[in-house]
Amino acid sequence: MSMRLSTLASGKEFTHIPDYVREYLDTLSRECAIYTDHWIEEVGDFRHISVAFTAEERNEFYRRSWAYELFLRAGYPKWAAETPGIDQDIANDADTYSPRLRDGNIIPPPYHCFAAFLGRHLETLVCFESGREVVIQLKGKEAKLFEVRRAIQTLTPTIRSFERREQGLDPWKITCEDDVRDLLYVMLRPIVFDITKEEVVPSKAGAHKFADLCSKAVPFLIELKWIGKRGIWKRKVEEIYVDIQTYARHPASETLFFVIVDSVKDIPDSRQIEEELTGVQTIDGLEVNVRAFVCEP
């Protein structure tokens, strides 16, 4: 039987973890970042990316990777909580982990893959779009769309930073859809030279609607939905389905970004809503790439 070399990280010797986890530990030790492959919607394919970690996130990754190491050494017991040395919070995350597949099916717990031991925050950094990934060798239109998506995904921390300014400074309150539109416009203006606000979108009925932000060069449209009170999230989602049909007629509708700002945490499962709305649709013979995001200021 071949001997596997050990990997040293955070003062511990790892011998059982998979090779890809070893690579994560190595690059985290060297440069506080991981390298992996993610599906990038903007190009419709996988690309190699890097994700930078904070020192606290790196140390937490070490702790949770060690828990997975102990679980593997113990021979895959039914419950992580039965494994000596695994902290209770990690064991609870692992034993209740229930991933949702792309087809909508849910795998019931226990499902003890490596992601089960990471916790939701680290799992997002490693496995999903977090807004912090940097795509290696991405150019042209795809690069612009990627930066737009990153800006949208940083709306939540940006809004919170405005509302929690240093002592003595008045907070900048974001209280409505127009505030978010103007903030996102400022964030995107250095990236997208022709971005405009309140783009007219004609409808079949002869009237017209206004998309919040538009670029005809990239091209894309961005529509914002503000949830300011409870009990209306379903109506906002229904509005998006109607908007998709209307906005698809606009020349810049190749990519439609819908951003739901849920200021009262009305949506019970934001990730599920994002997955249900996101995807390529064919409308009047045209393919439209719909991307949906839920932000909580």
Q: Which of 67-71, 121-125, 202-206, 217-221 has the lowest mean pLDDT?
A: 202-206
> Residue 106 gets which letter from DSSP?
B
Q: Average pLDDT of 243-259?
A: 93
Helix axes 140-153, 177-188, angle to 10 degrees: 140
pLDDT at 2 over 60: no
The residue ranking higher by pLDDT, 62 or 137, is 62
Residue 41 structure tokens: 């919607």
Residue 225 structure tokens: 């939905």
pLDDT at 128 over 90: no
The residue ranking higher by pLDDT, 55 or 144, is 55
Query: What SS3 state is found at 286?
Result: strand
Q: Average pLDDT of 91-95?
A: 97
Closest CA to 263 of 150, 171, 179: 179
* Cα–Cα distance list, 66 to 62, 69, 118, 224, 239 (Å): 6, 5, 11, 42, 46
Residue type, 165: R
Query: What whole-number percentage of the chain has pLDDT above 90?
Result: 64
All structural domains of the chain: 7-134 (no CATH), 139-295 (3.40.1350)
Predicted confidence band at 141 (pLDDT cuts at 50, 70, 90)?
Answer: confident
Q: Average pLDDT of 68-79?
A: 96
Give me the pLDDT at residue 204, please: 64
